[in-house]
């Protein structure tokens, strides 16, 4: 399995995967093609806040992830958020998720690594816990700016 940076030619396949991911119970919001396209464009451009990764097995895209960068004043360190981590059904259970988590932990060894997961997504939670991630007792809140 190869982990590589997302490139523009991956856009159609990643868009399809995002549609599946965001319509699943793993995510609370449905998203939209407009948002997905903007996310992909930021991943393949020089955006300093978002990185996109693709997981390839035997020349086929098995999944993708998007990493957002910030700073944690709580821990006094840079913070990376695993925003999306999607693996196609056909490739699940092969250790790709764990391999990607290890990759990110090595790449960002001095950063706090955070992610969100739906409580019902027991399979993903098991993978995260196996890799040393623990739940935080926070309630997340948000305010989305109104469209102009």
pLDDT of 148 > 70? The answer is no
- Taking only the tens place, the pLDDT of each residue in 44-78 is 999 999 999 999 999 999 999 999 999 999 999 99
Question: What is the model's pLDDT at position 138?
Answer: 83
Q: What's the pTM value of the predicted model, to 2 decimals?
A: 0.89
In whole angstroms, give the CA distance from residue 61 to residue 53: 10
Provide the pLDDT for residue 136: 87
Tell me the pLDDT tens digit for each residue of 100-119: 999 999 999 999 999 988 88
């Amino acid at each position: 399995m190869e982990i590589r940076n997302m490139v523009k030619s991956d856009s159609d396949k990643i868009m399809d995967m995002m549609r599946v991911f965001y319509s699943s119970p793993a995510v609370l919001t449905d998203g939209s093609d407009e948002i997905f396209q903007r996310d992909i464009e930021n991943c393949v451009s020089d955006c300093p806040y978002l990185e996109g990764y693709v997981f390839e097995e035997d020349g086929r895209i098995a999944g993708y992830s998007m990493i957002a960068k910030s700073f944690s004043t709580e821990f006094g360190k840079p913070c990376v958020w695993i925003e999306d981590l999607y693996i196609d059904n056909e490739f699940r259970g092969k250790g790709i998720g764990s391999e990607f988590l290890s990759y990110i932990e090595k790449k960002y060894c001095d950063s706090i690594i955070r992610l969100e997961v739906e409580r019902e997504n027991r399979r993903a939670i098991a993978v995260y816990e196996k890799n040393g991630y623990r739940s935080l007792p926070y309630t997340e809140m948000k305010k989305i700016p109104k469209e102009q």
